A = this chain, B = another copy of it.
Amino acid sequence: MEVMHENKYAVVSYSRDPRFLTLRSLQTFQGRSRTGLYIIEGIRHLARAVENDTPIESVFLDSSVLSNPFGQKLARRLRKRGIPGVRLSHELYRNLTLAAEPQGIGTVLQQQWTPVEKLNMERNSLLLAVESIESPGNLGTIIRTAEAAGVTGIFILSQDCDPYDPAAVRATMGSLFSRKLIRCSPREFTDWAKSSGVAIVASSPAGLMDYKALRYRFPAILVIGSEKHGLSEQLIEAADFMVRITMSGNCDSINAAVATGVLLFEMASQRQGA
């Protein structure tokens, strides 16, 4: 197994080195908010970021485990493009990654938020709004699902809900870069939807109509509430359509990401048929 020898990047092995501390601060919400940066880790994520021309701030490597030839090639390309970087000791790298078997390459990227007024809407657009999701892993899975279903914009309506959290990023499996993310308040969101003629679709066990019985009107936006508490009154009242996923047995709920998938793929298929 060939390991990478990348002598152009300085080695960092001291845990108080400011370069390491900067990287580690991006694991916290505070660090990410202050800088507008975040971390991705692993070859798949990096390849997707490069594909999508996402601007890369810096790179960090663990040369002792970066044995994948494609990963090594990516690292060389970034260095040739003049992107700054460091080689972390094995121990420091481990400290930064959530991966069970880290691939030895990660990068720092700029968070990308689209202002609501810049969002491109089409006649049959399908969008998603996340009011509040407690688990970053669930949030990442929801973003991955949304991309697969053809969603072209994701609203994040809560300050606590961070798609750039490392666990969320990891669960997106690289779907974060091609999506347009919009952060705004629930009020700004409903104002935007009403003025843009976008149908707000909410899902609730109290919905009077099964989600499959409804002929959706497009452009449409599905609104997802928190795992525990569902949607707020404010968003339920703003909804144009309220549907339910009819469940069997004693079930009163399914996982929020699963529910998002069930609803979005139904909406996507109706949009195609329309």
Contact = CB atoms under 8 A, between A and B. Distances in A.
Interface in A138-189: 141, 144-145, 147-150, 171, 173, 175, 178
B268 A248 contact: yes
Nearest to A179: B249
Secondary structure of the A side of the interface?
A: helix
Copies of this subunit? 2
Interface in A227-274: 245, 247-251, 253-255, 257-262, 265, 268-269
Interface residues of A, number: 32
A148 B249 contact: yes
B261 A149 contact: no
A217 interface: no
A148 B251 contact: yes
A269 B212 CA distance: 8
Contacts of A173: 253
B249 A178 contact: yes
Interface in A22-40: none
A144 B248 CA distance: 11
Interface of A: 48, 51, 141, 144-145, 147-150, 171, 173, 175, 178, 212, 245, 247-251, 253-255, 257-262, 265, 268-269
24 contacts: A141-B255, A141-B258, A144-B251, A148-B247, A148-B248, A148-B253, A148-B254, A150-B249, A173-B253, A175-B249, A175-B251, A178-B250, A212-B269, A245-B265, A248-B268, A254-B261, A255-B257, A255-B261, A257-B257, A257-B258, A258-B258, A258-B261, A262-B262, A262-B265
